Amino acid sequence: MRITTEEVRRVAILARLALTSTEEDDLIKHFDKILAYMDMLNTLDTTTVEPTAHVVEMSEPLRNDCVTNQPNTEALLANAPAREDSFFKVPKILE
């Protein structure tokens, strides 16, 4: 599979990179090597390999989604230079 110069330029624009023509050519060669390796991996027989999310068996990988540290407004605002009710008071920056 051949990567085109236009594709490299589009990726560079998305990544906000300014590339020289030499750098574009180098990236094309680099991407071609990566895609050639992926093609080589695609030739492997994986019919007996089960899809997995983790290499090792995990019984309960995630914790319960619950709040363990309730916010204490007074403690959070204790060192505030200025406050209004339960909010930080900051100078107005927009006219």
- Per domain, the residue ranges of the chain are 5-42
- Please give the CATH topology (third level) of the domain spanning 5-42: Histone, subunit A (1.10.20)
Look at residues 94, 12, 86, 1 and name the one whose alpha carbon lies nearest to residue 40.
Answer: 1
DSSP 8-class letter at 4 = P
Instruction: Give pLDDT, residue 68.
Output: 84
Instruction: Give pLDDT, residue 19.
Output: 94
Instruction: Give pLDDT, residue 58.
Output: 72
Distances (CA, A) of 21 to 1, 4, 6, 9, 34: 21, 13, 12, 10, 20
Judging by beta carbons within 10 Å of its beta carbon (0-12, 13-18, 19+), is residue 8 exposed, middle or buried?
A: buried
Mean pLDDT by 10 residues, the chain (95 residues): 88 94 94 92 88 76 80 89 90 83
Instruction: Give pLDDT, residue 63.
Output: 76
Judging by beta carbons within 10 Å of its beta carbon (0-12, 13-18, 19+), is residue 61 exposed, middle or buried?
A: exposed
pTM of the model: 0.48
Instruction: Give pLDDT, residue 16.
Output: 95
Instruction: Give pLDDT, residue 1.
Output: 59
Q: Distance (Å, rounded) from C-alpha 19 to C-alpha 5?
A: 11
